[in-house]
Amino acid sequence: MSNILIIKHGSLGDIAQASGAIQDICENHSTDDIFLLTSNPYLDLFEKNKSLKEIILDKRLSRFNLIYLYSLMKKIKKYKFNKVYDLQNSSRTSFYKKILFPNANLNTWSSSETTLPNDKTKEEFDKNPVLERFNYQLQSSGIDTKHTMSPDFSWSCIDIEKIMNEYKLSNYILLFPFCSPHLTVKKWPYFNNLINLIKTKYKDQFKIITAPGPKEIDEADQFDAIKILDKGESVSISQLSSLVKKSSFVIANDTGPAHMAAHLNAKGLTLFGSHTSAKKVSIERDNFKAIQVGDLNKLSAEKVFEKINL
């Protein structure tokens, strides 16, 4: 039995995308102990993944914080990992490799750099869809990939009967009209117009709800929808997963919850402007589709409403 390390820091959408890759690594190392290095927002979430023996916290402090860096590297080294699967593929994790395994090839440290095709630069390779990149990386590292291209995020769900009863939820449409403050280019401005169209056609057949994050609770009051909270606070990631899974339909900006919905097999739509493409982030699934336009400000509520499939 060997110790195997997976590195995946986040963001939330990235975590959902990586679920299939993590599952494939665990199944290919079924007789080994699998550890995962992640950041603080995802500790509780990954504790629910029964395939993982232990979750290691990376506070992701500055590389110049030598005391923290020494402590983290010492902790990682004590496990004597036989192989590392770097699913973050960032400059930070490349830096960790230089400290932990400076001369390692893909047999010890699997990353997009150590498995890079001979005919491509990393910049060229990174233009490929994210799931295709994971798939190539793992196959090049000897992993039989059955799930990487079809992630299943349902392991993140928990019982939310209390919330369902509190808000009397049965049939509901879940909206995510939010986005990070520094990524407003992702924000579609016509959610209230869409809500009016839905209510006009479906009356009381569906409740319309939002589930805001901690910094979105006040913003959620701008929308004519029920704001779902847990004791006045944002629901947890696992509660959010269950809300998405049980929904009748999801409509979202290109944010973490949209990627969760895609990989929870939820029915829904995500709205893309010119910031990236739905293909590159591998978000379209059988039940979850994308509307791609050059300018989200020019995408009407009527056009989105036409694509709702209830």
> Residue 104 pLDDT more than 90?
yes
Q: What is the rounded average pLDDT for all residues in the chain? A: 96
pLDDT at 1: 87
* CATH code for the part of the protein at 161-306: 3.40.50.2000
Over range 175-186, report the average pLDDT: 87
Domain span(s) for CATH 3.40.50.2000 in the chain: 3-152, 161-306
- Percentage of residues in the chain with pLDDT exceeding 70? 100
Query: What are the strands of the beta sheet with 268-272, ordered from one edge?
Result: 226-227, 207-210, 172-176, 249-253, 268-272, 288-292
What are the phi and psi torsion angles at 151 (to 5°)? -60, 145
Confidence of residue 190 (pLDDT cuts 50, 70, 90): very high
* CATH code for the part of the protein at 3-152: 3.40.50.2000
CA separation (Å) from 141 to 17, 56, 106?
Answer: 19, 23, 6
pLDDT at 193: 98
Query: Mind listing the pLDDT tens digit for each residue in 148-171?
Result: 999 999 999 999 999 999 999 999
Query: Mind listing the pLDDT tens digit for each residue in 43-88?
Result: 999 999 999 999 999 999 998 999 999 999 999 999 999 999 999 9
Question: Which burial class, exposed, middle or buried, applies to 108 when counting CB atoms under 10 A from its CB (0-12, 13-18, 19+)?
Answer: middle
